[in-house]
């Protein structure tokens, strides 16, 4: 199914938003477009919706399985506006959003679907799930100049930390059960990253409801959505492994010539398995076993 614009999708795509979870993939360029779409189809999303410029092409197998919306998120409405329009159009629906060359992982995702994950999370009376955006990068930039290579992907196995999230409306006291998380390439190359884009936390899985809005810092207007756990025990978290920062650092003229390799003594090959992310403490199974 293909829609010629965002307006057409919102007006005529009610059937696509009838049952969730629904994945919203924002396509900024054509790097690893098909692998991103296939990965999220395989996770068990009921619908995968790709927002992409008209000139981009998909492989035949992904084109059959994906709902395509012709929309350029760089030139038209940005991802925040698109997500907010879909929240208003589909209250009660579980939604997920990411960008191309990003891949969602959650505990035991090799044997369980995202629907099973969110059923358990709902039973714990949670309407949103914290995800950590974990930077991955090509180990050999001479072979992979855009820093993207599925078969040569690496990640940082340490260097992640959290700081209290201050509340300006409450004398800068820390917000309850909220933290700002940092690490990865955004930490190691922070001189090339604007301060307001250095965090790696994203509330990427959430249930839409009336008057809820996404903010540009990947948090929501309902502060409970921004918490990492409920008051009584730890909850599930997930991870989005992402080439997006590495790709940006190598495509930006202000940083590309300063970076000859992203590898350092704490780099490790990424195994494309949830077990590695759990072992490194980069996501939390909570009470789900």
pLDDT at residue number 74: 83
DSSP 109: T
pLDDT at residue number 30: 92
Q: Which of 99-103, 148-152, 166-170, 181-185 is least confident? A: 166-170
**Mean pLDDT for the chain?**
95
Rounded Cα–Cα distance for residues 235 and 288 (Å): 8
Rounded Cα–Cα distance for residues 272 and 232 (Å): 32
**pLDDT over 90 (residue 100):** yes
Range list of H helices, the chain: 6-12, 33-42, 60-65, 79-89, 114-123, 185-188, 244-251, 274-279
Q: Tens of pLDDT along 206-241?
A: 999 999 999 999 999 999 999 999 988 889 999 999
DSSP 7: H
**pLDDT over 90 (residue 169):** no
Residue 277 banded pLDDT, cuts 50, 70, 90? very high
pLDDT at residue number 119: 96
**pLDDT over 90 (residue 77):** no
pLDDT at residue number 76: 79
35: its two tokens: 């692998």
Q: Does a cis peptide bond (omega within 30 degrees of 0) precede residue 184? A: no
Q: Tens of pLDDT along 241-265?
A: 999 999 999 999 989 999 999 999 9
- Burial track 20-42 (b if 16+ CB lie within 10 A, e otherwise): bbbbbbbbbbebbbbbbbbbbbe
pLDDT at residue number 96: 98
End-to-end CA distance of the chain: 37
Nearest Cα to Cα of residue 268 among 259, 260, 258, 279: 279
The average pLDDT across 272-281 equals: 97
**pLDDT over 90 (residue 93):** yes
List, in sequence order, every residue forming a beta bridge with 132; answer none if it has no partner.
201, 239
**Could you identify the residue written with the tokens 């300006």?**
168
pLDDT at residue number 79: 95
Nearest Cα to Cα of residue 51 among 37, 64, 68: 68
pLDDT at residue number 289: 78
**Could you identify the residue written with the tokens 């007006």?**
11
**pLDDT over 90 (residue 69):** yes
DSSP 179: E
Nearest Cα to Cα of residue 76 among 50, 105, 51: 51
- Burial track 166-203 (b if 16+ CB lie within 10 A, e otherwise): eeeeeeeeebeebbbbbbbbbbbbeebbeeeebbbbbb
Rounded Cα–Cα distance for residues 103 and 25 (Å): 10
Residue 86 banded pLDDT, cuts 50, 70, 90? very high
């Amino acid at each position: 199914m293909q829609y010629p614009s965002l307006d057409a999708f919102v007006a005529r795509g009610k059937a696509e938003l009838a049952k969730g979870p629904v994945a919203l993939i924002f396509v900024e360029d054509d790097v690893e477009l098909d692998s991103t779409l296939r990965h999220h189809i395989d996770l068990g999303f009921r619908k995968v919706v790709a927002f992409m410029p008209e000139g981009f092409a998909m492989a035949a197998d992904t084109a059959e399985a994906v709902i395509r919306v012709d929309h350029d998120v760089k030139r038209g409405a940005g991802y925040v506006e698109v997500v907010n329009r879909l929240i208003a159009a589909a209250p009660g629906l579980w939604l997920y959003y990411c960008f191309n060359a990003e891949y969602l992982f959650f505990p035991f995702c090799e044997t369980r679907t995202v629907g099973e994950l969110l059923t358990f999370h709902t039973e714990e009376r949670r309407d949103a799930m914290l995800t950590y955006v974990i930077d991955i990068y090509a180990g050999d930039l001479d072979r992979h100049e855009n820093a993207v290579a599925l078969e040569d992907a690496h990640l940082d196995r340490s260097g992640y930390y959290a700081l209290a999230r201050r509340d300006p409306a409450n004398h800068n006291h820390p917000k309850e059960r909220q933290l700002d998380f940092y690490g990865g390439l955004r930490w190691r190359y922070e001189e090339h990253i604007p301060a307001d884009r250095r965090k790696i936390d994203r509330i990427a899985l959430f249930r839409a409801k009336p008057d809820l809005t996404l903010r540009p810092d990947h948090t929501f207007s309902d502060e409970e959505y921004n918490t990492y756990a409920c008051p009584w025990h730890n909850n599930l978290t997930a991870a989005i492994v992402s080439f997006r920062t590495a790709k940006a650092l190598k495509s930006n003229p202000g940083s590309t010539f300063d970076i000859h390799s992203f590898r350092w003594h704490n780099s490790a090959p990424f195994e494309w398995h949830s077990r590695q992310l759990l072992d490194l403490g980069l996501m939390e199974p909570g009470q789900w076993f």
